[in-house]
Amino acid sequence: MTRGVIAAAALLALTGCNGDAAKTGSNGSAAQAEAPPVNDGKADCITGDAEQWARDCLIERNGHILTIRHPDGGFRRFRLLADGRGLEAADGAERASVQISGRRQIEVATGGERYRLPAQIAGQ
């Protein structure tokens, strides 16, 4: 991560009862990425053969495990880290990379999938 530490509490809040997710348009413009979070239990993602961002991945939380379900039935699991660094892949051989992609969101990439999730960035 380049500009600070992601607050773990913010990521935990990300997937409260209903799961918050950042609102971005299909073109992923920065202006839309800064819109207030939408509490619809979904995340913007690029999965499979998709080439554009779409708001069609479901977010589920069970304790410190975050599961993101793809529209084709696939899924990725992540572990929320208590030390404030954000999250990491919970299983599988592919590591997750996390980068800040907006004032209030991170982008998580693993394998060929990418997800935009809301977060509070320390120092911002």
Number of domains into which the chain is organized: 1
Asked, for residue 3, whether it belongs to a domain, the answer is: no
Whether residue 88 is contained in a domain is answered as: yes
Task: For residue 107, tell me if it sits in a domain.
Answer: yes
What local confidence, expressed as pLDDT, does residue 103 receive?
78
Tokens at residue 32, please? Answer: 């839309």
* Residue 50 belongs to some domain of the structure: yes
pTM: 0.71
Question: Considering the domain boundaries, does residue 2 fall inside one?
Answer: no
CA distances from 94 to 26, 77, 110, 113 (A): 26, 11, 6, 11
Rounded CA separation 87/2 (Å): 15
Q: Which domain holds residue 41?
A: 8-118
- State the Cα–Cα distance between residues 7 and 49, nearest whole angstrom: 32
Which tens digit of pLDDT belongs to each residue from 56-102? Answer: 999 999 999 999 999 999 999 999 988 877 899 998 889 999 999 87
Is 85 a member of any domain? yes
